Amino acid sequence: MSKKAALYIGGVILAGFAVLAYELAGLHTTNLIRFLVFFVVTVGTARLKVRLPGVTGAVSIHFMFVLAAIANLSLPEVLASAVAAALVQCYWGAAKRPNWIQVSFNVADSALAFSAAYVTYHAGMLNQPDVGVIGRLMTAAVVLFTVNTGSVAVVIALTERKPVWPLWRDCYFWSFPYYLAGATLVVGMNYISGRVGWLTALSILPVVQVMYRSYRLHFGRLETEKKHAEELASLHLRTIEALALAIDAKDHTTHGHLERVQVYAMETGKELGLSPEEMQALQAASLLHDIGKLAVPEHIIAKPGKLTQEEFEKMKIHPIVGAEILERVEFPYAVAPVVRSHHEKWNGTGYPDGLKGEQIPIGARILSAVDCLDALASDRQYRRALPLDDAMKVVSADAGKAFDPRVVQVLERRYREFEKMATQATTAQSIGKLSTDVKVERGDAPDAGFESTAEPAGQRLAASADPVEAIAATHQEVQSLYELAQAVSGAMRLSDILSMLAVRIKHWIPYDALAVYLVRNDVLEPAYVTGDDARLFSSLAIPVGEGLSGWVAESHKPIMNGNPSVEPGYLKDPGTFSKLNSALAVPLDHDDAVIGVLALYHSGRDAYSRDQLRALQAVSGKLAATIVVALGRELEPASDSAGSLPDARALFLHLDAGIARCQRDASTLGVVVCDIDRFKTVNERYGQLAGDQLLRSVASQLRQACRASDYLAHLGGDEFAVVMADLSRSAAEQRMQDFERIVREAALGVCGSDQVTLSCGYVQFPADGATTEQLLAEADRRMQKHKQERRSVQSLPDPVLA
């Protein structure tokens, strides 16, 4: 109950009881029998009530006998009869026992209404021969009707926030002739009383009974028709709710949103004085305004980031499709125009028709502002919710531009009140939820069978060995990274590969945080994280389909400049905001399946470009294949065939430190990458044990041949690398000849043949590269070139510098 309604009810009660106390204090009668007869008849007929269609209330025929008492009794006697009748009317035959406020208001209202009628009847200006009893009774009946029904209409209007005059006109004014007919019967009673006697006048009671029965039958039919109309309206409402559930099945964020928007929109419509038809249309449209999203691809609806131009073009069809769907329902009120126009803007820049100002239906104007306010104050896939006050400021800033200023004024004044009402309504009653997460156990296979997802083994091998030309269109940094990964991925652990990736990517795509998530049991788990909030990202377990990275994994589509804060569990405190504002994420696809997601996060807004997205996509396929190989290798038992030499990860760390030292000292650093030629032939001809023995022998002799300051590492398989400080190119050439001799001697000792040779590639810092990755990639390229030169001639020459 509003404060205005409470104050009005309190005022009526105080005034009514004050009149009662004053008049009943002087109660006396000159004819006790006549008073008792009128009292009994008035109280007895109070239970003969006619229920009013359309409102909560009833009209009793006892008012006619109170009018008769006004012409024959004193005011205290009239009020005593009227108050007793009001009490009987409240309790006798009531479907629900009224509370004390309702009883007090009815008693006080009766006292005021009949007092006003009594004063009117006995007023000096009406006590004229020309007016007569008929005119006085008719005037008293008009006053009684106006005060009695008017006060009730005011209470209902204040409680339900409706305009008083339309409510009184539609719900009570039709009963005005009923009061005039009652006054006419009272004139007849007075005529008989004056000619025959007042007791004989009671013979009119059968006429009153007939009148009561006829009104009751008439209103009974009206009530039946009203119930039928309510059932049709309920059917429409259930249809609306069913369609709203269909929307929820496609767009899960709308579930609570629709109910909240309905409360906001309906209350705003009441405040703006919409007609009943406009209110009905608004009620349906508030639940169905997004039904057109059924025609929009689900990956666009659920995308946790900004839409591309192409995606937005597809999204813009949903108000048109929604209106076309609802036109087929043939609602008895204009729902489709509201749905079609709910994305129009006050200044004409909206869609789909570019309507402007008053051209936009009032329901659509309300829905547009309310929908935006609730969307801003709710969590979305692409951002966290704003505090309600901040969301209201955003909407207010667009008054006169995107939104109708009148609608915004209502929201500014009452949005906190609306929020409480929406919260209570959503908690009290929900339109339900479809069983979209139920697992159906039955059903072995579709009638058409399952799609074959297997690929021939040879095809998969060819794909995994894709050459550098696969990303030749990207810039040089990406190519260098690809070549390096091609050269050393067989030896490095997964953590080493991802660490190298993170360092290299930062040179051509800046980021503040990087995360590589891998799919395990439909959950994305972080395999590698670096940068800001690394500890928080490392703790995440993101279900596929949820948040930004979950959407990428589920849809197999990249996302650019998404909101990092929507990653599930990243910001556990809803009131906390991340300093990271942009995300660039691509799926890691392998054999038509997503094995993970590579995500870059940046503090700047809209920090990433389409060129950067294409560059990241260019390496994602190779990275996915490398991850699959690395994961498989980590499950295999470890081998000690290289004599426990440092691995590729240790080599990277040593080279990083060496380059940093050379930069400080302005010195040089040499790197040799070696590959044993025909090693596969040794395994095939002499067996795996002989191959392992050869590797151990080569590793041992190379270690003895190196200086104390040299660094020897095993890259995996038959590849080795040596880091040599302060070594000239001629000295490096001599060292590579020594390395080949060592390999020949080791092969002769193990296999009895010296046909195994060594291909080498030598590079020097800083002439051949400025970073670890560049040096190793160039050394590997030169080693491969040396290997090809050996194969092109019959006799293999000594290794030379490339």
CATH no. of 463-634: 3.30.450.40
Query: What average pLDDT does the segment 755-783 reach?
Result: 87
pLDDT at 89 over 80: no
Higher pLDDT, 725 or 763: 763
* Structural contact between residues 165 and 173, judged by C-beta atoms closer than 8 angstroms: no
pLDDT at 115 over 80: yes
pLDDT at 199 over 70: no
The radius of gyration computed from the CA coordinates of the chain, to the nearest angstrom, equals 45
Instruction: Check residue 366 and give its pLDDT.
Output: 94
Name which of 648, 617, 586, 636 is nearest 478 in CA terms: 617
Using alpha carbons, list the distances in angstroms from residue 746 to 507, 688, 694, 800: 42, 16, 6, 21
- Please give the angle made by the CA atoms of 315, 318 and 323, to the nearest 5 degrees: 165
Higher pLDDT, 501 or 269: 269
Residue type for 664, please?
A: R
Read off the DSSP letter of residue 290: T
Instruction: Check residue 456 and give its pLDDT.
Output: 35
pLDDT at 467 over 50: no
CA–CA separation, 664 vs 263, rounded Å?
Answer: 69
Domains 3-226 and 251-428 equal at CATH topology level: no
Higher pLDDT, 739 or 130: 739
Helix (H) or strand (E) holding 677: strand 669-677
Instruction: Check residue 208 and give its pLDDT.
Output: 62
Instruction: Check residue 303 and give its pLDDT.
Output: 74
CA–CA separation, 615 vs 477, rounded Å?
Answer: 10
Query: Which range (68-82, 164-178, 202-216, 546-560) has the least confidence?
Result: 202-216
What pLDDT, in 10s, does the model give residues 412-430?
A: 999 888 888 887 765 545 5
Query: Which range (29-33, 178-182, 633-637) has the least confidence?
Result: 633-637
Instruction: Check residue 468 and give its pLDDT.
Output: 36
* Structural contact between residues 365 and 407, judged by C-beta atoms closer than 8 angstroms: yes
Higher pLDDT, 235 or 1: 235
Read off the DSSP letter of residue 399: B
Cross-strand pairs, 523:
520, 543
CB atoms within 10 A of CB 665: 10
> Is the domain defined by 648-791 classed in CATH 3.30.70.270?
yes
Query: What average pLDDT does the segment 650-660 reach?
Result: 81
pTM of the model: 0.46
Query: What average pLDDT does the segment 363-379 reach?
Result: 88
Q: How confident is the model at residue 269 (pLDDT cuts 50, 70, 90)?
A: very high
Instruction: Check residue 82 and give its pLDDT.
Output: 84
Instruction: Check residue 501 and give its pLDDT.
Output: 78
CATH architecture of 3-226: Orthogonal Bundle (1.10)
Q: Where are the beta strands (DSSP E) in 504-602?
A: 513-520, 523-531, 542-543, 559-562, 582-590, 593-602
* Structural contact between residues 45 and 37, judged by C-beta atoms closer than 8 angstroms: no
* Structural contact between residues 599 and 584, judged by C-beta atoms closer than 8 angstroms: yes
Instruction: Check residue 690 and give its pLDDT.
Output: 82
Q: Token match 């709203």: residue?
A: 244
pLDDT at 797 over 50: no
Per-domain residue ranges for the chain? 3-226, 251-428, 463-634, 648-791
Q: How far is C-alpha 161 from the geometric centre of its chain's CA atoms? A: 31
Query: What average pLDDT does the segment 558-574 reach?
Result: 81
Name which of 716, 761, 709, 708 is nearest 739 in CA terms: 761
Q: How confident is the model at residue 159 (pLDDT cuts 50, 70, 90)?
A: confident
pLDDT at 517 over 90: yes
Instruction: Check residue 253 and give its pLDDT.
Output: 55
pLDDT at 271 over 60: yes
Contacts (Cβ under 8 Å, ≥6 apart) of 106? 86, 89, 90, 98
Higher pLDDT, 680 or 494: 680
Q: Are strands 513-520 and 523-531 parallel, antiparallel or unpaired?
A: antiparallel
Instruction: Check residue 204 and give its pLDDT.
Output: 59
Q: Which two tokens stand for residue 511?
A: 């980021």
pLDDT at 360 over 90: yes
Query: Which range (283-292, 418-427, 438-447, 589-598) has the least confidence?
Result: 438-447
Using alpha carbons, list the distances in angstroms from residue 350 to 319, 364, 579: 11, 12, 32
CA–CA separation, 209 vs 198, rounded Å?
Answer: 19
CATH architecture of 251-428: Orthogonal Bundle (1.10)
Query: What average pLDDT does the segment 361-379 reach?
Result: 89
Q: How confident is the model at residue 632 (pLDDT cuts 50, 70, 90)?
A: low
Per-residue b or e along 234-267, where b marks 16 or more CB atoms closer than 10 Å to that residue's CB: eebbeebbebbbebbebbbbbbbbbbbbbbbbbb
Percent of the chain at pLDDT exceeding 70: 76
Query: Which range (287-291, 423-427, 503-507, 548-552) has the least confidence?
Result: 423-427
Cross-strand pairs, 713:
721
Percent of the chain at pLDDT exceeding 90: 15
Query: Which range (69-78, 423-432, 525-534, 745-754) has the least confidence?
Result: 423-432
Phi, psi of 545 (to 5 degrees): 100, -10
Whether the upstream peptide bond of residue 276 has omega within 30° of 0, thus cis, is no
* Structural contact between residues 801 and 740, judged by C-beta atoms closer than 8 angstroms: no
pLDDT at 20 over 80: yes
Name which of 487, 457, 482, 455 is nearest 471 in CA terms: 482
* Structural contact between residues 528 and 502, judged by C-beta atoms closer than 8 angstroms: yes
CB atoms within 10 A of CB 131: 14
